[in-house]
Structure 1
């Protein structure tokens, strides 16, 4: 990361929080020496979430120690900002832990698909003198909602595409990885969103034009090359030839990139999509066939479900098709990529229209932008981080919220973990019984012959204890 003014603030972990957090250390009940918090999706648009992205947060932020310069910067800011500042505690962390926060974090293995309303990760401080640090990190850690939600949206779309590949394709497994391409880099709110969201999509697919997302996946998840792209035209590269030069622009693309077994994509609706297809199918047809390449036509306007089908039918008239083993047409020499108006609903509509008309899902891929990386927020899956237990002296006490105005915001109680039934695969969030002293003795016991704990300790006192690579995460999400 660069040394910009913005990064000088965001790299200071003490400032990477909400303003009111600076005053909370004074507000807790006298005698409090421990705190346990958890993160969950309380429900939302999808009934399952794909856990992903925590490792990148831990590596980028928690792996950097707090320094005296950071403490001084935070002190000057908060006092001028109207908040108290616990300078002594932050200096204590520097002196006692070399600036690394004394916290332990347990989490679901990344790539795991978990039903909503279950604990996905937990955090607690390992030093009673600064127990409140667990809550101080809420702002930073809860941002995991974003990569989880992108990975979740992408995963559910993958299930839709797989459904149609299973119906209409001879090679569903060989097709799926490149069926949804990330076009979202320009549609997100920040550079960091581009990197984090683009990375999350790659849990499920291997096609992307979001460079920072690919680089983030490579760096944080130890992948040599997380995704791939192909040469593709945009409107400026076609329209720069002028309307009268459209044919020459297309021929130039073929001359440059149409090689044996190569893929190239050409946007073809700058003026008249169907007129462009006529050019591809007449003047340029033989060059396409002789090149041995696969030409991918990109419509970029109109109703997606209607336009893709009409494009497939017109291309079929020029290039022909072959019926596969399931009786569906696969176009010869050409394919289609739809990158306009793409979302889960339009993908299903497109694939339904193609199936009804006898075309295999092999014929189309999708480029998804804002709907993939930007059209969501924390409430899409209703993410929350809540404190569920505090320790007073030697005794743990369950804490929770239960607002009568919104029962959906009722939080969980106690020290918790996630368990999975060894045979059925059912997930259950269960209270831990590993503390002898509780004010509430009604703790659930777990039969280890039936259930296995899912949460893994991934972080403790500045050290990454468990590191996942992207290949393992992809396999876990696909399973």
Structure 2
């Protein structure tokens, strides 16, 4: 699906004939109009630009689009696309500016703005909406959810742990199998890694290398699944666990083992804390026990209590109990921002430090999101007709929450806070929107380290 001309909504193909005569430029912007979270972490536009906008359209693309649109029953602007091919060598005559990737912007503010650079292609600004908005809302929403989890976990670590050194690996991406496509995994998985360093989504690692120059954006460890445990049979459960320690345990090594195939409590009390206890304590690394069923708010604190009963614990400087370094727990079932908070609060109430547990998050991270999670929209806000600019906007009487912004926009900081203003009301140097794409060229490029640095700065 690489034909950019067809990467749009069907009704967009007729819009070239709907604008007023003499239309030369159309300027549109993208914002989060609200949603679950009060701010969003902007991320992912660079992936879209590199993958789709730096490659020119071809005559074959035009011919294919013409054929499909005719059969589909919608008009096709063959003349306009042929003009782009012949005049601009197939590169889209657009300019896109956006906030730096990794910036955390309060909802209701402009995050990106796009305008055509050739007056013969004013129709192109809104034509690209479908692909451009999707390229922004999805990774930005995932990065925002991941950031919310980061803040929750950091808060509990601040309260119950000696330090935040374990924070980067406290939320692991388990979402690859539950996402709608490999591209979804790559984009959403990398968005998660803006905030954390743990993932099982290999596609996200590839995306980090390909689009942000990240040699290694995230890390994982050897881990068991139910098939590798149950293949030994119920009577061989201890042998299955011992094999995991033999194969992957060792000095400074970490290995995770799902332990609820049959009876989690017996696995902890009789096997990990009984037959295999000496090997766990002396191997020099860390065993991570993984429950995978039950109510996590109840199971996690109870499982940690069982582990402490067998392996002991110490009390840290904040007065909370911590397992010895040889054993930890990860919860990967039923994990979302709400359950993370509930689990950590339950642990806190029992005097258990948040440093004892990590989380794995799957569908709730990469798949259970949509455009309205943060109410993303792209709207035209200014038009130039025969050399005259005027503001355009929508303000439906049935829903003033969908009122759009007017004019050419800029984003500035006043007293440290982001604020959307008229473009001509501030000096260009005060505009937080940076030109990232123009006429087929990536103008501003970010490394993944820069993105992470921006998130930390905000």
Q: Give your verdict on TM over 0.5.
A: yes
Alpha-carbon distance in structure 1 between the residues aligned to 2:413 and 2:359: 35
1:419 to 379, 392, 412: 412
**CA offset at residue 452 of structure 1?**
2.4
2:367 to 357, 364, 374: 374
Structure 1: 5+ residue runs without aligned partners?
Answer: 1-9, 434-444
Does the alignment pair 1:446 with 2:426? yes
Alpha-carbon distance in structure 1 between the residues aligned to 2:117 and 2:426: 24
Classify the secondary structure of the residue corresponding to 1:379: helix
2:36 to 35, 42, 45: 45
**CA offset at residue 289 of structure 1?**
1.0
Alpha-carbon distance in structure 1 between the residues aligned to 2:450 and 2:55: 26
Q: Which residue of 1 aligns with 2:348?
A: 355
Q: Give 1:81-92 correspondences, 5 Å limit.
A: 81-92=72-83
**CA offset at residue 447 of structure 1?**
6.7
Residues 334-392 of structure 1, C-alpha deviation per residue, up to 9 Å, x if partnerless?
A: 10000000001110111111111111111000000000011110000000000001101
**CA offset at residue 322 of structure 1?**
1.6
Residues 39-71 of structure 1, C-alpha deviation per residue, up to 9 Å, x if partnerless?
A: 000000000000000000000011110111111
TM norm structure 1: 0.94
**CA offset at residue 446 of structure 1?**
2.6
Residues 435-478 of structure 1, C-alpha deviation per residue, up to 9 Å, x if partnerless?
A: xxxxxxxxxx2378xx9211000000000000011111111112
Alpha-carbon distance in structure 1 between the residues aligned to 2:361 and 2:71: 44
Q: Give 1:53-452 correspondences, 5 Å limit.
A: 53-143=44-134, 144-172=136-164, 174-278=165-269, 279-332=271-324, 333-421=326-414, 424-433=415-424, 445-446=425-426, 452=430
Q: Which residue of 2 aligns with 1:439?
A: none
**CA offset at residue 19 of structure 1?**
0.7
Residues 76-95 of structure 1, C-alpha deviation per residue, up to 9 Å, x if partnerless?
A: 11111111111111111111
Alpha-carbon distance in structure 1 between the residues aligned to 2:250 and 2:61: 55
Root mean square deviation of aligned Cα = 1.0
Alpha-carbon distance in structure 2 between the residues aligned to 1:453 and 1:64: 29
Classify the secondary structure of the residue corresponding to 1:164: helix
Alpha-carbon distance in structure 2 between the residues aligned to 1:225 and 1:191: 19
Classify the secondary structure of the residue corresponding to 1:401: coil
Alpha-carbon distance in structure 1 between the residues aligned to 2:366 and 2:412: 31
Residues 243-276 of structure 1, C-alpha deviation per residue, up to 9 Å, x if partnerless?
A: 1110110011111111011100000000000000
